[in-house]
Amino acid sequence: MIEEILNELNLSKTPPGEYSALTLAYLGDCVYELYVRSYLVKDGNKNVNTLHKTATKHVCCAAQAELYRKIENMLTDEEEAVFHRGRNTKSHVPKNSEMRDYRDATGVEALIGWLYLKGEKQRICDLLKHIFV
């Protein structure tokens, strides 16, 4: 389901490496959330309040940092470099987040944004399926 949704969206003509890490993270956050929400409704209608509560457990910096720990050994050198670019970007850490989790989450989001711009939708799905494992 998510593959079809991502296939319908148009990709940018700007090479992915030319985007700032935070722009990649901004886009990656959207793709990540779309994946989570699509996964949660794949079996049909559910109570929206329940969907929201479940989604927020997966779309937070702690969950994204945990995802990184699950997939870090699967990343190519190039993907790892993009992750580090995102993780090492200076940004404001929200007061109710751990700095390490927030930075790891930004790295994951940047990686997802980069893969999306490269058109590697299947790779995104291969990595994100580990959210629910």
Give the whole-angstrom CA distance, residue 47 versus residue 86.
35
- Domain of residue 27 covers 18-132
- Which residues are CB-neighbours of 123 under 8 A, at least 6 positions away? 115
Give the residue, 8 or 90, on which the prediction is more confident: 90
Examine the residue annotation and report whether 101 is marked as an active-site residue of this protein. Answer: no
Taking each helix axis as running N to C, give the angle between helix 121-128 and helix 61-71, from 0 to 180 degrees, rounded to the nearest 10. Answer: 100
From the candidates 29, 77, 104, 126, which is the catalytic residue?
Answer: 29
Contact 83, 75 (CB under 8 A): yes
User: Average pLDDT, whole number, for the chain?
Assistant: 89
- The sign of the CA dihedral 43, 46, 51, 53 is negative
* Residue whose token pair is 């409704």: 41
Examine residue 101 and state whether it is found in any structural domain, yes or no. yes
Closest to 52 in 3D by CA, of 36, 31, 67 = 36
Examine residue 104 and state whether it is found in any structural domain, yes or no. yes
pLDDT digits (tens, 9 = 90+) for 63-95: 999 999 999 999 999 999 999 999 998 877 677
Q: Counting runs of H as helices and runs of E as strands, what totals does the chain give?
A: 7, 0
Examine residue 13 and state whether it is found in any structural domain, yes or no. no
Which CATH number fits the domain that encloses residue 116? 1.10.1520.10
pLDDT of residue 63: 94
Quickly state the pLDDT bin for 41 (edges 50, 70, 90). very high
